[in-house]
């Protein structure tokens, strides 16, 4: 059975999508069978996996409306024509199109509105080692569908002053979902991203995180690295675009840490 993890943080621009696509590509590179689910109407994880959201005929939107099955709506990440990119293994993509923005309102009056993704994934979870869900920057009904589907949450965060405050809100939401909707949900770990060790405040916040959350903080640390920021403009995860870049090396180490960590779950 797949390990189903949400990549979530209600704060915007903290590195959720970068984490999702690079972890998917990193895990695929380590021989894992991976499905990426893009729950964000921005569709960044879809585009960053080389899938054009404007040309998607079926997406997670139709799955949430129960019009189609995941197996019909899924497509495959695509690395373009360059031979060096094509060597990198691909993963399945349940993409997001712009219509997903409307799903929020449409779902409100539907039965089992927060469990629809969970029920849809039941049919395919045996086909994968990992299903990773990229959540939008909110605690919306879409994010709730992600949290209800998952066994765990991966929280990317920047080591900044307000980061700890935001974390309290997210931890409370996860506790509520755990108590009311999904008994399996837990925090898998906190991932320090866009880290710059030259900034002493970041080092301090990182130390505070380790003091509060101990082994819930992943050992891997993702540095601020321009190659990771460039990669999406080519429709590629950083680990495919430039596997030797510092940020990519860190994501590959993170993927290996994830494989090691799930053995202990």
14 binds, among Mg ion, ligand ATP, none (CB under 5 to 8 A by kind): ligand ATP
Least Å distance between CB 203 and Mg ion? 26
Nearer to ligand ATP, 69 or 138 (CB): 138
2 binds, among ligand ATP, Mg ion, none (CB under 5 to 8 A by kind): none
Least Å distance between CB 66 and ligand ATP? 26
Residue 38: enclosing H or E segment and its boundaries?
Answer: strand 34-38
Part in contact with Mg ion (CB under 5 A); list of ranges 17-25, 116-124, 184-192, 234-242: 17-25
Least Å distance between CB 21 and ligand ATP? 8
Site residue total, Mg ion (CB under 5 A): 3
**Options 10, 14, 15, 17; binder of Mg ion; rule CB under 5 A:** 17
CB of 166 closer than 8 Å to CB of 199: no
Return the residue nearest Mg ion (CB atom).
17
User: Which burial class, exposed, middle or buried, applies to 164 when counting CB atoms under 10 A from its CB (0-12, 13-18, 19+)?
Assistant: middle
**Tokens 């540095």 found at:** 223
Q: Which two tokens stand for residue 217?
A: 């903080």
202 binds, among Mg ion, ligand ATP, none (CB under 5 to 8 A by kind): none
Binding residues for ligand ATP, per CB under 6 A?
12-18, 40, 42, 44, 137, 193-194, 222, 224-225, 228-229, 232, 247
Nearer to ligand ATP, 15 or 95 (CB): 15
Going by C-alpha positions, the residue among 76, 71, 112, 90 that lies closest to residue 28 is 90
Work out whether 16 is an interface residue with Mg ion (CB under 5 A). yes
State the Cα–Cα distance between residues 80 and 9, nearest whole angstrom: 30
CB of 185 closer than 8 Å to CB of 224: no
Q: Which two tokens stand for residue 71?
A: 């197996």
Beta bridge partners of 153: 6, 187
Dihedral pair phi/psi, residue 188, rounded to 5°:
-75, -45
Part in contact with Mg ion (CB under 5 A); list of ranges 3-11, 12-20, 64-72, 152-160: 12-20
242 binds, among ligand ATP, Mg ion, none (CB under 5 to 8 A by kind): none
Least Å distance between CB 70 and ligand ATP? 22
Nearer to ligand ATP, 152 or 247 (CB): 247
89 binds, among Mg ion, ligand ATP, none (CB under 5 to 8 A by kind): none
Give percent helix, percent strand, percent coil of the chain, each to the nearest 5. Answer: 50, 15, 35
Beta bridge partners of 134: 7, 38
State the Cα–Cα distance between residues 248 and 238, nearest whole angstrom: 6
Nearer to Mg ion, 104 or 119 (CB): 104
Q: Taking CB under 5 A as the criterion, which residues in 26-85 touch Mg ion? A: 44
Give strand ranges (E) for the chain: 3-7, 34-38, 75-76, 92-94, 130-134, 152-157, 186-195, 217-223
Which chain residues interact with Mg ion by CB under 5 A? Answer: 16-17, 44
């Amino acid at each position: 059975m797949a390990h189903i993890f949400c990549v979530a943080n209600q704060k915007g621009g903290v590195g959720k999508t970068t984490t999702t696509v690079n972890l998917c590509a990193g895990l695929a590179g380590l021989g894992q069978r991976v499905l990426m689910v893009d729950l964000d109407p921005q569709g960044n994880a879809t585009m960053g996996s080389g899938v054009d959201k404007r040309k998607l005929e079926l997406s997670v939107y139709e799955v949430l409306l129960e019009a189609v099955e995941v197996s019909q709506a899924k497509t495959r990440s695509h690395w373009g024509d360059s031979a060096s990119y094509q060597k990198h293994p691909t993963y399945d993509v349940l993409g997001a199109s712009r219509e997903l923005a409307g799903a929020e309102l449409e779902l409100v009056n539907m039965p089992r509105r927060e469990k629809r993704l969970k029920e849809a994934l039941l049919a395919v979870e045996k086909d994968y080692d990992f299903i990773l869900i990229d959540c939008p920057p909110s605690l919306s009904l879409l994010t709730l569908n992600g949290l209800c589907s998952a066994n765990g949450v991966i929280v990317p965060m920047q080591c900044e002053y307000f980061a700890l405050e935001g974390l309290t809100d997210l931890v409370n939401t996860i506790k509520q979902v755990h108590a009311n909707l999904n008994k399996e949900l837990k925090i898998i770990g906190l991932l320090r991203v866009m880290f710059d060790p030259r900034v002493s405040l970041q080092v301090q916040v990182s130390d505070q995180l380790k003091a509060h959350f101990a082994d819930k903080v992943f050992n891997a640390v993702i540095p601020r690295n321009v190659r990771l920021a460039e990669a999406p403009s080519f429709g590629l995860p950083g680990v495919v675009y430039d596997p030797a870049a510092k940020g990519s090396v860190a994501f590959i180490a993170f993927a290996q840490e994830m494989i090691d960590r799930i053995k202990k779950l």
